[in-house]
Every structure is written in C-alpha cells, then in structure tokens.
Amino acid sequence: MGYTRYFRRNWQMYALLVLPMLFFIIFKYGPMYGVQIAFKDFNFFKGIGGSEWIGLDGFREVFANQDFYITLRNTLMLNFLDLIVSFPAPLIIAIMLFELKVVWFKKLSQTILYIPHFISWVIIGGIVYQLFGQQSGMINNLLTSLGLDAIPFLSDKNYWLITYLLTGVWQSAGWGTILYLAALAGINKELFEAAEVDGAGRIKRILHITIPGIKPTIVTLLIINLGNMISIGFERPFVIGNLAVMEYSDVLSTFVYRIGLESGQYTLATVVGLFQAVVGLLFLLAANYISKKLTDESIL
C-alpha cells in the first residue's frame, strides 16, 4: 500500500535510473564474462567459450615475468608521487578561488585552469616534447642561448619524473577544483561572518571553517584515489614516456598493451587486469577502513 503510493509518486526517478543501470550492466558487468580468459588458453578463432581451461598457468607466467614487477613498482611509484603532488593542488587552488571576491577574475581564472583538462594526452605529449626536448626543445634552446647547460627533462629518468608529475598537475588541477568548489559553496556563510566578527583572520578561517567544511569531500576523494593506486591511465605514461626512461615510465597499462594488444597474449593481459582489479578492491577497502577508524568518514 505504502509502496505503491510511493512508486506512483516517484516512478519518474526510477525511470531515470534505467539508463545508468543499463550503462553499468552493459559496459561494466557484461565484459566480466571475458574475465575467464585469464584462466584459459585464449584462441582467437575458438572464441572465449571454445578456448581450453588452463587453470592458473597464466598467473604463474605473469608472476614469473620480471617486467611485471618493474611495471608494478612503477605504477605504485608514479601513483604515489602523483597523489603527493597532484592531490593537494586542486584543493589549494579551490580554496584560493573561493577566497577571491572579484567575480569576473574568479570566473576567468577558473576557465583558464580547466582548459588543459579538455586537451587529449596525445596533444599534450606533442607539446611536452616540443617544449622540453634536449636539443630542439624551446626551454633548452632558451637555456643554451643564455649560456646554461641543457637539461635532459625527458631523457634522464629523475628529471623525467618531475616532468611527468608537473604535466599531470597542469592537466588535471583545474578540473579537480570543481568538486571542491561545489563543496565549498555548501558551507554556511554565517560561520564565516561569525568568525570574522570574533576576530579570526583569513588563515584561521581557512583552517577552522573552510577545511573542516569540506573534509568529507577530501576524504572521499582520497579514498577513491587510494583505491586507484594500482591502476594507471594508459595515455599519460605512454605518451610522455620514451625509451630512455622506460625504467620508470613502463607501467602496468603499457605492459598490458604490449603483451595483450601488440603481442596477442590475451591470457596474460587479462591476468594482469584481474590482478589489478582485485588488488585495487583491497586497497579501497583498506583505505575506507582506516579512514573510518581515524576520521569517522567513509564511503561504504
């Protein structure tokens, strides 16, 4: 009785849910059918169903491959450094933007900061190579014409790390502010006014009102980021990486691309993918658990 009334009044909401549900079923759950490739000797022409089961042989082969450990290490290293460098950037920018009172300037800065997000990594890669190349890059041309030594931004692994990280900040920081700005808009304005009346300065206000006000958002994003520690986008390391720095730039996604799409060893590629998914889930649960204990904020 109560249910039907409820549905009658709210059925539109459920109807709206159908599309997202379809999306998840088709694009997220459907492909899980293919996970069994990890346990099969996948043959192109026999298809997924027709290929033979091989148990854990695929896993044994992957875990015996030294490149797997190198790419795993690089994935964790790049993601961890990225977390340290890229995670605070949007937060800081968002707070700065929030403090701005001149509306047109605020809007303009916001737009300028977003734009890199819409540029594809392939194009960014092109720009990076034009700018940072050792012999023909613009920055090094400038340095050498000033009588300084050229810096191997892209071909020395340590410099490359810096290039990689800062490019990431440049590309994603502006976009990342959106969530924080939305959260900031939700803070009760009266709190700020009261604090101002009580004589709190800007820094005090930020520390005691702004940041606590968006703490749930920060924690949620941190948990999601930690859950993604094991997975890494393909384009950025692939496009910015090169042969001279493969020691650092070769990550799980490029490894999967090489053994899967390029060498046609789909079984091994699926094994790596499944491994990433399982470890990613464990990371997520662990981060969630710790956060719940420490701050009482969690997403599950």
Residue 106, classified by CB atoms within 10 Å of its CB into exposed (0-12), middle (13-18) or buried (19+), is middle
Among 56, 262, 286, 294, binds other proteins (CB under 8 A): 262
DSSP string, 3-23: HHHHHHHHHHHHHHHHHHHHH
Q: Give the Å distances, CA to CA, from 62 to 67, 93, 154, 199, 281.
A: 9, 42, 30, 62, 20
Residue 123 binds other proteins (CB under 8 A): no
Under rule CB under 8 A, residue 242 binds other proteins: yes
Q: How many residues belong to the site for other proteins (CB under 8 A)?
A: 44
Partners of 262 in the β-ladder: none
Nearer to other proteins, 18 or 146 (CB): 18
14 binds other proteins (CB under 8 A): yes
Residue with tokens 């384009």, as numbered in its chain: 235
Which residue in the set 84, 263, 281, 290 belongs to the binding site for other proteins (CB under 8 A)?
Answer: 263
Q: Give Dmax over CA atoms of the chain in angstroms.
A: 84
Choose one: 82-90, 129-137, 173-181, 208-216; the region binding other proteins (CB under 8 A).
129-137
Q: Residue 41 or 297: which CB sits closer to other proteins?
A: 41
List Cβ neighbours of 121 (8 Å cut-off, separation of 6 or more).
171, 233, 235, 236, 239, 240
Chain centre distance of CA 218: 15
Q: Using the rule CB under 8 A, give the single segment among 93-101, 133-141, 198-206, 273-281 that binds other proteins.
A: 133-141
If the CB atoms of residues 44 and 118 are measured against other proteins, the closer one turns out to be 44
When the beta carbons of 20 and 186 are compared against other proteins, the nearer one is 20
Q: Does 185 bind other proteins (CB under 8 A)?
A: no
Count, in order, helices (H) and strands (E) of the chain: 17, 2
Q: Are residues 125 and 239 in contact, defined by beta-carbon separation less than 8 angstroms?
A: yes
Smallest separation (angstroms) from other proteins to the CB of 291: 34
Out of 135, 146, 185, 190, point to the residue binding other proteins (CB under 8 A).
135
Q: Which residues bind other proteins (CB under 8 A)?
A: 1, 4, 7-8, 11, 14-15, 18, 21-22, 25-26, 30, 33, 43-49, 66-67, 129, 133-137, 144, 150, 154-155, 242-244, 246, 258-259, 261-265
